[in-house]
Amino acid sequence: TMAEHSTPAEPEPRDAAAVRHVLQSMGVETYEPRVVHQLLEFVYRYTSEVVQDAALYAEHAGRKSGDLTAHDARLAAKLWSQRRFAPPPPRAHIDDVASVKNATPLPGVSPTPG
C-alpha cells in the first residue's frame, strides 16, 4: 500500500500544534496551512518585541535586562499594542462629525435624466 512506501511524516512542531489547538478551540474548522505559519510569525515577532521592550524597562528600573518581572512584561505588552493598534475614536466624536456632515442638505434631484 501507499503508507508502507511513504516516508514517515515529521512530527508537528509544538508551537504549530498550539496554534492549531487555539484555532480549533475557537471553532475554526477549516483553514489554509499558511494560516498557522502566519499566526506563528505574528506570535514570534510580538513576543520578541515585547521581551526586548521589557528588558529595556528592567534596565531602566536598575535591574539587569535578563531580570524581567511580570510588571515589565505587562507594561511592554500594553505599550506594544498601543503603538500597533489605534483605538477607534470616541463615539461622541463620531456623533459630532456625523451631525456636522448631515446638517448639509443633499443637492436636489434633477427632473431630467443625465
> What's the chain's average pLDDT?
88
The pTM is what? 0.61
- Per-residue pLDDT, 4: 38
Residue 8, pLDDT > 70, answer no
- Per-residue pLDDT, 88: 84
For CA atoms 60, 61, 65, 71, the dihedral sign is negative
- Per-residue pLDDT, 113: 84
Average pLDDT, stretch 36-43?
A: 96
For CA atoms 69, 56, 63, 42, the dihedral sign is positive
- Per-residue pLDDT, 52: 95
- Per-residue pLDDT, 5: 36
Percent of the chain with pLDDT over 90: 69
